[in-house]
């Protein structure tokens, strides 16, 4: 599906014609080699304004049709960059001959945020990056092999005998006197502030953190490997458990990616319902973040207030599908089911109540001197935030006006009235304020959409994705065949790749999906917003008190489900 090119595309095409430039599904694609990667990246960053690195990941091509291979080499390192002014995304594919010891130059010199992404690519595929240590990130340190390679069996477990000991590398710049004053403490993974799954090894002097190492992967549930073994619609329950505080948003992100790939336009009613669910889940996600973050600072009361509101939304979800937390509400091509009678009225009532009640949370916290002093820590500048690949409330708190709902309005976001709150300092207090305001704006959106809810079908009538009504299945042969094909062969997007992003509660949730035309996705890479944000944590808490680190952790809203996947 070659789309119409705008002037920017022409410029890109002219500059990168030697790199077999193409443009598909709103993504620009170019090929680079390990030799010219850094030149290409420099050019993209400086001349074309691709100032944010969204994602780096590996791909194993060995079971793909040869025509899709990049230059006959098994592995690929794939980069996704974002130009925030023009809202353009580009994919750079670099073939890597891992078996012959080819090493990819690291793009850490352009973006600090490449750090963990490159480590993960080594962990999962064994792709080496120049000057980077080969450290496990998501799997444990005794793990052998690279699990996302196609020849690694999905159910091959490798038990771990002993946890990784706390350790730091010897640093020659630390004098023996200084070293004498320092000691090592271990925070997490089972610690109330680390939510059970993050581990921080800290070297402290008094109460000040001098150095820290982060250990993640305690909730690495192999989402991407599981996707490769399931049908496209079966992946939806797995996406529920990425950011489990706001499940519907992940469902929407996944389904949107597949729909874009298949060129399916979902009905207006489905679009509107998805917006309602997305905004409701943004509210409950922020409620957990604010409530749990305040608990970490010792304020239990606001947590009860937040959770009371969350329960109201749970009730709405329960009426809709029977589940409270992991809802799987969408299907490829629309929604899972029609609204029950009276749901809209209930929802409007709940919106009214929550709008009123979050002001109570506001009164409890916003001007509370202890809360203000504890959270006005660890500021981050806009440049640094972009360097690290921040998105979502944390980026906007640093003063960058970027929200996909405004920059590239999908569904009906261009038709509803809402504003994007922007912070100034980028500290935790600003993040809190941004989240509070986003909740108000989200409730406003829900109100507007529900008051103008379009009628019509809730699911697309496209035969490639949607089972025909029972009556047709039983009475005519076409319906019967259609039903049979969908059940037996599943949804099958055409051969190709897509990177599709939506604005989730924590920031840009991107799905990079490769289809080989089969019934299972060939490769799925999630670009989780937390991952990019949390990798900066070590630098953010350097020379800060331990208590500030705890506050920072609450403000970043790290959800292990999408961090470790």
Partner 1 sequence: MSTNKRLVSALASRSEEDFALDRLIVTTKADSFLEWAKRWGQSNSLWPFPFGTACCAIEYMAVVGPKYDASRFGAEVVRFSPRQSDLMIIAGTITEKQAPVLKRIYDQMADPKWVIAMGACASSGGFYRAYHVVQGVSRDIPVDVYIPGCPPTPEAVLQGIMQIQDRIKKGVSSYDDSRKVQEAAFDKAAANAKTSTH
Q: Are 280 and 302 in contact (CB under 8 A)?
A: no
**Interacting positions 261-320 with partner 1 (CB under 8 A):** 288, 292, 304, 307-308, 310-311, 314
Among 3, 20, 158, 345, binds partner 1 (CB under 8 A): 158
The token duo for 447 is: 């109100």
* Angle, helices 301-321/343-365, rounded to nearest 10 degrees: 170
Q: Are 313 and 347 in contact (CB under 8 A)?
A: no
Closest to 7 (Cα-Cα) out of 48, 43, 42, 40: 48
Nearest-angstrom CA–CA distance, 526 and 510: 6
Nearest-angstrom CA–CA distance, 545 and 543: 7
Of the pair 328, 536, the CB lying nearest partner 1 is at 328
Question: Using CB under 8 A, which of the segments 134-142, 348-356, 402-410, 463-471 binds partner 1?
Answer: 134-142
Measured from the CB of residue 143, what is the shortest distance to partner 1 in angstroms? 8
Q: Is 544 in the site for partner 1 (CB under 8 A)?
A: no
Nearest-angstrom CA–CA distance, 305 and 528: 28
Q: Is 211 in the site for partner 1 (CB under 8 A)?
A: no
Question: Using CB under 8 A, which of the segments 101-109, 156-164, 461-469, 486-494 binds partner 1?
Answer: 156-164
CA dihedral 126, 128, 131, 136 (to 10 degrees): -10
Of the pair 162, 417, the CB lying nearest partner 1 is at 162
Alpha helices (H) along 366-427: 369-375, 382-388, 393-397, 404-407
Measured from the CB of residue 489, what is the shortest distance to partner 1 in angstroms? 22
Contact letters for partner 1, residues 224-243 (x by CB under 8 A):
-xx----------xx-xx--
Measured from the CB of residue 310, what is the shortest distance to partner 1 in angstroms? 7
Among 43, 140, 182, 544, binds partner 1 (CB under 8 A): 140
Q: Is 14 in the site for partner 1 (CB under 8 A)?
A: no
CA dihedral 38, 41, 46, 48 (to 10 degrees): 150
Residues 6+ apart with CB under 8 A from 473: 467, 479, 480, 482, 483
Q: Is 162 in the site for partner 1 (CB under 8 A)?
A: yes
Of the pair 245, 449, the CB lying nearest partner 1 is at 245
The token duo for 471 is: 């009556």
Measured from the CB of residue 146, what is the shortest distance to partner 1 in angstroms? 11
Per rule CB under 8 A, count of chain residues that contact partner 1: 51
Q: Is 151 in the site for partner 1 (CB under 8 A)?
A: no
SS3 content of the chain, % helix, strand, coil (to 5): 45, 15, 40
Closest to 290 (Cα-Cα) out of 425, 435, 475, 177: 435
Among 96, 219, 236, 272, binds partner 1 (CB under 8 A): 219
Closest to 365 (Cα-Cα) out of 422, 286, 426: 286
Of the pair 200, 219, the CB lying nearest partner 1 is at 219
Question: Using CB under 8 A, which of the segments 65-73, 136-144, 472-480, 539-547 binds partner 1?
Answer: 136-144
For the chain, what is the largest distance between any 2 Cα atoms, rounded to a whole number of angstroms?
Answer: 86
Measured from the CB of residue 45, what is the shortest distance to partner 1 in angstroms? 35
Q: Is 465 in the site for partner 1 (CB under 8 A)?
A: no
Q: Is 222 in the site for partner 1 (CB under 8 A)?
A: yes
Of the pair 247, 535, the CB lying nearest partner 1 is at 247
Question: Using CB under 8 A, which of the segments 44-52, 160-168, 503-511, 519-527 binds partner 1?
Answer: 160-168
Question: Using CB under 8 A, which of the segments 2-10, 139-147, 333-341, 443-451 binds partner 1?
Answer: 139-147
Measured from the CB of residue 328, what is the shortest distance to partner 1 in angstroms? 11
Q: Is 338 in the site for partner 1 (CB under 8 A)?
A: no
Measured from the CB of residue 292, what is the shortest distance to partner 1 in angstroms? 8
Check residue 471 and report its DSSP letter. Answer: H
Residues 6+ apart with CB under 8 A from 352: none
Q: Is 220 in the site for partner 1 (CB under 8 A)?
A: yes
Closest to 293 (Cα-Cα) out of 477, 549, 118: 549
CA dihedral 287, 340, 410, 248 (to 10 degrees): 40
Residues 6+ apart with CB under 8 A from 481: none
Q: Is 213 in the site for partner 1 (CB under 8 A)?
A: no
Q: Is 360 in the site for partner 1 (CB under 8 A)?
A: no
Contact letters for partner 1, residues 90-129 (x by CB under 8 A):
----------------------------------------
| Other Cβ atoms closer than 10 A to 255 | 30
Of the pair 222, 294, the CB lying nearest partner 1 is at 222
Of the pair 215, 548, the CB lying nearest partner 1 is at 215
Q: Is 157 in the site for partner 1 (CB under 8 A)?
A: yes
Contact letters for partner 1, residues 175-204 (x by CB under 8 A):
--------------xxxx--xxx-------
| Cα separation values, 374 from 31, 359, 536, Å | 48, 21, 20
Question: Using CB under 8 A, which of the segments 49-57, 115-123, 220-228, 329-337 binds partner 1?
Answer: 220-228
| Cα separation values, 129 from 135, 203, 358, 527, 539, Å | 11, 28, 47, 20, 22
Q: Is 166 in the site for partner 1 (CB under 8 A)?
A: no
Give backbone dihedrals phi and psi of 17, rounded to 5 degrees, phi first: -65, -30
Q: ω into residue 505 within 30 of 0, thus cis?
A: no
Which residues on adjacent β-strands are paired with residue 407?
Answer: none
Q: Is 527 in the site for partner 1 (CB under 8 A)?
A: no
Residues of this chain that interact with partner 1 (CB under 8 A) are 138-140, 143, 147, 152-163, 189-192, 195-197, 217-222, 225-226, 237-238, 240-241, 244-245, 288, 292, 304, 307-308, 310-311, 314, 324-326, 560-561
């Amino acid at each position: 599906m070659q789309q119409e090119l705008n002037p920017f595309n022409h410029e890109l095409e002219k500059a990168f014609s030697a790199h077999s430039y193409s443009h598909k599904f709103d993504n620009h694609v170019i090929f680079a080699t390990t030799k010219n990667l850094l030149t290409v990246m420099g050019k993209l960053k400086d001349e074309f304004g691709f100032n944010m690195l969204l994602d780096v990941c590996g791909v194993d091509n060995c079971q793909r049709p040869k025509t899709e291979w990049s230059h006959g080499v098994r592995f690929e390192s794939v980069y996704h960059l974002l130009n925030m002014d023009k809202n353009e995304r580009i994919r750079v594919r670099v073939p890597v001959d891992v078996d012959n010891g080819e090493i990819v130059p690291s793009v850490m010199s352009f973006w600090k945020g490449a750090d963990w992404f490159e480590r993960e690519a080594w962990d999962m595929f064994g792709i080496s990056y120049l000057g980077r240590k080969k450290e496990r990130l998501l799997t444990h340190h005794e793990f052998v092999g690279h699990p996302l390679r196609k020849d690694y069996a999905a159910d091959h477990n490798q038990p771990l005998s002993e946890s990784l000991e706390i350790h730091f590398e010897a640093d020659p710049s630390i004098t023996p006197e200084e070293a004498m004053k320092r000691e090592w403490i271990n925070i997490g993974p089972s610690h109330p502030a680390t939510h059970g799954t993050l581990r921080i090894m800290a070297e402290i002097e008094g109460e000040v953190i001098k150095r820290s190492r982060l250990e993640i992967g305690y909730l690495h549930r192999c989402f991407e490997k599981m996707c490769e073994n399931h049908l496209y619609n079966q992946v939806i329950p797995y996406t529920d458990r990425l950011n489990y505080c706001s499940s519907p948003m992940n469902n929407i992100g996944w389904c949107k990616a597949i729909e874009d790939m298949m060129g399916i336009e979902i009905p207006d009613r489905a679009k509107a319902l998805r917006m309602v669910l997305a905004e409701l889940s943004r509210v409950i996600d922020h409620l957990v973040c604010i409530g749990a973050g305040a608990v970490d600072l010792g304020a239990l009361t606001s947590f009860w207030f937040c959770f009371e509101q969350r329960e109201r939304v749970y009730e709405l979800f329960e009426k809709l599908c029977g589940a409270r937390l992991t809802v799987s509400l969408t299907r490829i091509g629309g929604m899972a089911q029609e609204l029950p009678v009276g749901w809209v009225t209930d929802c409007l009532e709940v919106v009214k109540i929550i709008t009123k009640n979050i002001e109570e949370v506001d009164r409890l916290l916003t001007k509370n001197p202890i809360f203000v002093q504890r959270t006005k820590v660890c500021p981050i500048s806009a440049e640094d935030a972009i360097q690290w690949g921040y998105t979502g409330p944390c980026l906007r708190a640093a003063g960058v006006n970027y929200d996909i709902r405004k920059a590239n309005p999908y569904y009906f976001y261009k038709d509803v009235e809402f504003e994007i709150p922007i912070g100034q300092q980028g500290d935790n207090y600003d993040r809190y304020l941004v989240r509070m305001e986003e909740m108000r704006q989200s409730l406003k959106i829900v109100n507007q959409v529900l008051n103008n809810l379009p009628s019509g079908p809730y699911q697309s009538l496209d035969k490639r994705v949607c089972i025909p009504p029972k009556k047709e299945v039983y009475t005519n042969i076409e319906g019967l065949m259609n039903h049979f094909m969908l059940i037996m062969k599943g949804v099958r997007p055409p051969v190709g790749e897509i990177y599709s992003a939506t604005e989730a509660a924590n920031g840009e949730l991107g799905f990079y999906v490769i289809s080989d035309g089969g019934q299972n996705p060939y490769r799925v890479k999630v670009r989780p917003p937390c991952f990019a944000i949390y990798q900066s944590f070590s630098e953010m808490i350097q020379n800060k008190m331990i208590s500030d680190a705890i506050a920072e952790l609450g403000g970043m809203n790290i959800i292990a489900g999408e961090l470790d996947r």
